Structure 1
């Protein structure tokens, strides 16, 4: 019978890799809690409209990458391609805005995008997502960036670059004026110069052209107008406060006027964290402010800011974590000891120890080999003579020493 294999772009996360993901999540829980953030857990499936309204109809995510299908009643459903829209939906639907002035939330889990699988980018990928609702303050932006930097530092990551930009707002003398300038700049470019996607983007949302990764398009946009020259005074003041706080707090960053992110809902502060160690897909985290999104999704007109971290890319930078060594492995050298060995193992586990017990009475050599593979600190040996005398042999796998002690004193001996 033909072997069934996993779907292209989907990966098995095996025990050693799962330890890295667990460390990511546990570090996130600890660091984010220091800043007052609380965990939410959200559905993987959402109504398609949630993403078309929030991310933007003209984005590559909505146009090309979503896993969308009708359910049995003909309703269009989508496997979430990102987390922010779902968190906003939950925030509005559950009335959190009426319960607290400032909501600080985070979640983690799988996301889905139909795109070409490559190093650090899969069709099922995992994100840690952080969102804060209710405050327009640049101090919240800066605090979030400090929190992100602390999280990445506590993971042991180095040589990361923080890139910042401000995308302005909807005031007529701000982003709309910049869009007009881009329209004028791109007017003369045709299909021989821009890729097919950018020909469409320049008509529907010229800001998206700046996000294109095609080398020819990147080169053509190098001389495009900069958004910093088209911002209202309020947006200038907001961004200067953010950068002044980061300067005072010692967070190094680079200003990138081309940084627009891939989603339409961002305004004002926008940021990305990149690494040169993981190839072309260099972004490991990114986010920004989205002050109109809550209203767009049916909630009150409240501001928001957030970021997401790609767990696959963070895991690549972290490398393998050393597996946590168990305390013991109990080798049983005779059939009569299997019963007592398993019960003794349960007693040690109940006292907080970690370890395994042999389930068959194999040779001493094979069981010592298994104890070595397990990485256990101690190998406990229970043979017929030890069973009769009420003793057990304790072999220190690090020091190479060996003692025979009573079973009653085993727990104290291991703890010492």
Structure 2
């Protein structure tokens, strides 16, 4: 029978990999909590209109990449291509804005986009995201950027460059669109079909085109920074001032527009040279009009998404060390039915005190049990047989040093084992 394999663009994360993911997630969760963010979890699929309205119908995501289908009720459903839209929908649906502003949310989420797979770009990928709703101050922009940087610093990630830009508000962007249309109209015979369709509806999307020809044309396009209104200029200057105040280095990159339509004003990316063409590991910015676009009251907001796969790739390339994964503290081998029952009881009592204990559940011979204990990296081993049950005496062996210690099975075994562990740790430290 043919073996069914994982779908193209997806991957299995095995225990040796998830140990690393958990280390990274713990740092992210810790940093989010330090800054007052609470976790939110949203459904993996939503009404297709949610993403059409929020992400933008002229984006590559909506036009080319979404996993969209009709369910059995003939409703158009889409697997989430990003995390912000679902989080904002949940805030509106459940009235979280009534609980005080700003609302600070974080999430770990899987996202789905149908695109060509390559290193750092999968059809199912994972993000850590922060969203802050009801925060108009440029200080919020700097705080969000600072959280991302702090995560990278705590993980020991090196050689990341922060690039920032402002793409203005709807007022100043309207003038910028006119300038873009005038510029790109001179290249109509060279633009790809997709960008020709964007020329009238949303010319800024041309700046995000991955076509080599269109990318070359955009190099000479007008810059949004030259069209910012006074308010947007002041906001951007304040963001830079706050970043300067906490000594976060940045580079102003006028070409950053981000790939989703809901962004306004500040946009930013953390980029790495260790990823090749897929250089962005974290990106985000303001989306001051999104809440209103989705049916709520006007509410300034901002957020970012950090790609888990790309971050782990960078850490691997930079050979960043991870803590050794926790292994079995003690394996209790048993010979005979009575010994198996006792091994099960001892294991259970140890586990109640959060000690990683295991015993044989496969009816293996003693030699096979010892081999298994070695495979799972057991630090100690205890062998139970008829003699040990009768005398109530047993030997615990330190698998690293070979040292053997006597234990009294008629007394509290958990206490004896904890004392033994502590003694051995003190010896090692000494």
* Structure 2 residue 137 is matched with structure 1 residue 134: no
**Per-residue deviation, residues 274-329 of structure 1 (Å, max 9, x unmatched):** 12212321211111000000000000011100001111112222338432222112
Question: Aligned equivalents of 1:323 and 1:333: distance in 2?
Answer: 30
Write the mapping of 1:290-369 to structure 2, written as runs, cut at 5 A: 290-319=287-316, 321=322, 322-360=324-362, 362-369=364-371
How big is the alpha-carbon RMSD for the aligned residues of Structure 1 and Structure 2?
1.7
Q: Which moved more, 1:398-407 or 1:243-252?
A: 398-407
Question: Aligned equivalents of 2:382 and 2:247: distance in 1?
Answer: 52
Stretches of structure 1 that go unaligned for 5 or more consecutive residues are none
Corresponding residue for 2:227?
A: 230
Corresponding residue for 2:114?
A: 114
Q: CA deviation at 1:363?
A: 4.2
Q: 1:279 to 1:400 in 2, by over 3 A?
A: farther
Question: Aligned equivalents of 1:279 and 1:390: distance in 2?
Answer: 63
Q: Runs of 4+ in structure 1 displaced over 4 angstroms?
A: none
Corresponding residue for 1:375?
A: 377
SS for the counterpart of 2:361 is: coil
Q: Which moved more, 1:73-82 or 1:362-371?
A: 362-371
Q: CA deviation at 1:334?
A: 4.1
Q: What TM-score, normalized to structure 2?
A: 0.92
Question: Aligned equivalents of 1:194 and 1:392: distance in 2?
Answer: 80
CA contact (8 A) 1:335 1:361 kept: no
Question: Aligned equivalents of 1:250 and 1:117: distance in 2?
Answer: 37
* Structure 2 residue 192 is matched with structure 1 residue 195: yes
Q: CA deviation at 1:217?
A: 2.3
Q: CA deviation at 1:375?
A: 1.6
Question: Aligned equivalents of 1:23 and 1:366: distance in 2?
Answer: 33
* Structure 2 residue 13 is matched with structure 1 residue 13: yes
Corresponding residue for 1:413?
A: 416
Write the mapping of 1:50-199 to structure 2, written as runs, cut at 5 A: 50-171=50-171, 174-191=172-189, 193-199=190-196
**Per-residue deviation, residues 87-130 of structure 1 (Å, max 9, x unmatched):** 11111111112221211111112111111121122111111111
SS for the counterpart of 2:370 is: helix
CA contact (8 A) 1:335 1:360 kept: no
CA contact (8 A) 1:127 1:311 kept: yes
Question: Aligned equivalents of 2:156 and 2:334: distance in 1?
Answer: 41
Corresponding residue for 1:395?
A: 397
* Structure 2 residue 285 is matched with structure 1 residue 275: no
Question: Aligned equivalents of 1:158 and 1:355: distance in 2?
Answer: 38
Number of corresponding residues: 413
SS for the counterpart of 2:204 is: helix
Q: CA deviation at 1:360?
A: 4.2
Q: Which moved more, 1:395-404 or 1:285-294?
A: 395-404
CA contact (8 A) 2:188 2:196 kept: yes
Q: What TM-score, normalized to structure 1?
A: 0.95
Q: CA deviation at 1:142?
A: 0.6
CA contact (8 A) 1:332 1:362 kept: no
Corresponding residue for 1:241?
A: 238
SS for the counterpart of 2:13 is: coil
Question: Aligned equivalents of 1:147 and 1:297: distance in 2?
Answer: 27
Question: Aligned equivalents of 1:245 and 1:128: distance in 2?
Answer: 24
Question: Aligned equivalents of 1:358 and 1:263: distance in 2?
Answer: 54
CA contact (8 A) 2:129 2:306 kept: yes
Q: CA deviation at 1:153?
A: 1.8
SS for the counterpart of 2:170 is: coil
Q: 1:360 to 1:170 in 2, by over 3 A?
A: closer
SS for the counterpart of 1:346 is: helix
* Structure 2 residue 215 is matched with structure 1 residue 218: yes
CA contact (8 A) 1:131 1:306 kept: yes
